[in-house]
Amino acid sequence: MTSELPADGSPTPKDETGPEACRETIPHTQPPPGRWLYESIAPNLVQAQRVERVLHSSKTPYQEIMVVDSACFGRALALDGRIQSTEADEFVYHEALVHPAMIAHPGPGSVFIAGGGEGATAREALSHQTVDRVVMVDLDEEVVDVCRKFLPNHHRGAFDDHRLELHHQDAFEYLAAADRRFDVALIDVPDPIEGGPAHRLYTREFYALVRRRLTDDGMIAVHAGPTGPTLHSLCFSAVVNTIADVFPVVRAAEAFVPAFGSMWGFALGSLGPDPLSMTPDEIDRRLARRLRTDLRFYDGPAHLGMFSLPKYLRRALEAETRVVTRRNPLFVV
């Protein structure tokens, strides 16, 4: 709705209270012309980006899928209306999720991935020369098929790597039935939305199951939601505290992912190696020895920055008491 202005340019007199007053008197409340994708970042915060083209839109038994070309971030995947990754900045998210755990581990050979439908998490794990097997379990086969077709710059051929073993089933059920053990587990699933497919994978029960499927020096890495000053309590601090209830070593980190509208949190749990025990120089040496590709975000100095949390986050983690369970799940709006 566009406000009507009198001839002198001053706002039309209106009731000066209530939401209608805000819409009429605050300028620029309408987006510029074009088609816009709106995403709820938090209950009181919405981010919008202009869409140039919708390449795919469908609904599966589990979720709604959309692939768009956006003016700001390039090609993007959205599930249930939430951006999962974009071509412009996916490298930040995926490198931040994968490499701190992979580099901290003395020699990861087997990797488990929950989710990761774009194939980019597998891409980063497979870049390590020590890796001989990656088991990727994504519930929604249609998501993976859509990403194979429309997101080639995300997966970059990872689905064709002979070391990748792909399963389409619930990750919880897969691990419960599996007799395999893994060096690193990477949890790259959608946000825990009520009624969505992923909320069980944010619980203590799932993290305990992952622990039982890890090797003696095994590690888990998860994305844990926004970490902004008004957003960290939505998911981040509860997830970190839940992992701390299961693993003897837990470290939290963050990185800025512009398409997510906030600094974004990550949590690492370990049965042995401490991600903070490595110097930046040692990280760079390990990267040079192990990786087949050149990274764009992660290196020794970036690692130090990721794990140097601001004071408000450190205090929030110290004060957090929630442990997410199947009986007391965590949902984001």
Dihedral over alpha carbons 311, 308, 245, 103 (to 10 degrees): 170
| Both structure tokens of 150 | 């429309």
pTM, entire model? 0.90
Domain membership flag for residue 324: no
Mean pLDDT of all residues in the chain? Answer: 91
| pLDDT digit string, tens, across residues 79-128 | 998 899 999 999 999 999 999 999 999 999 999 999 999 999 999 999 99
| pLDDT digit string, tens, across residues 243-300 | 999 999 999 999 999 999 999 999 999 999 999 999 999 999 999 999 989 999 999 9
Domain membership flag for residue 333: no
Task: Give the model's pLDDT for residue 238.
Answer: 97
Let me know if 191 is a catalytic residue: no
Domain membership flag for residue 248: yes
Residue 15 has pLDDT above 60, yes or no: no
Name the residue range of residue 304's domain: 90-319
Residues 303 and 185 in one domain: yes
Residues 141 and 69 in one domain: no
Domain membership flag for residue 326: no
Domain membership flag for residue 269: yes
CATH number for 255: 3.40.50.150
| Both structure tokens of 91 | 């490298």
Domain membership flag for residue 107: yes
SS3 letters across 202-249: HCHHHHHHHHHCEEEEEEEEEEEEECCCCCHHHCHHHHHHHHHCCCCE
Residues 77 and 137 in one domain: no
For residues 222 and 192, the answer to whether their CB atoms sit within 8 Å is: no
Domain membership flag for residue 219: yes
The alpha carbon of 320 is separated from its chain's Cα centroid by a whole number of angstroms, namely 21
Task: Give the model's pLDDT for residue 202.
Answer: 96
Residues 94 and 26 in one domain: no
Q: What percent of the chain has pLDDT over 70?
A: 91
Q: For the chain, how many structural domains are there in total? A: 3
Question: What is the number of other CB atoms lying within 10 angstroms of the CB of residue 157?
Answer: 10
Residues 124 and 214 in one domain: yes
Residues 41 and 166 in one domain: no
Residues 303 and 206 in one domain: yes
**How far, in Å, CA of 85 to CA of 79, rounded?**
10
Domain membership flag for residue 17: yes
**How far, in Å, CA of 219 to CA of 240, rounded?**
14
Task: Give the model's pLDDT for residue 193.
Answer: 78
Q: Which residue among 52, 83, 114 closes a domain?
A: 83
Half-sphere exposure of 27 (CA within 13 A, CB side): 4
Residues 75 and 209 in one domain: no
Residues 137 and 175 in one domain: yes
Q: Which long-range contacts (CB under 8 A, 24 or more apart) does 232-236 make?
A: 232/265, 232/312, 232/313, 232/316, 233/316, 234/42, 234/332, 234/333, 235/191, 235/192, 235/202, 235/265, 235/330, 235/332, 236/265, 236/313, 236/316
Catalytic position from the list 138, 183, 188, 191: 188
CATH number for 52: 2.30.140.10
Residues 209 and 312 in one domain: yes
Residues 182 and 249 in one domain: yes
For residues 267 and 222, the answer to whether their CB atoms sit within 8 Å is: yes
| pLDDT digit string, tens, across residues 239-249 | 999 999 999 99
Residues 73 and 159 in one domain: no
For residues 139 and 62, the answer to whether their CB atoms sit within 8 Å is: yes
Which residues lie closer than 8 Å to 125 by C-beta, 6 or more apart? 98, 102, 111, 113, 131, 134, 184, 186
For residues 158 and 122, the answer to whether their CB atoms sit within 8 Å is: yes
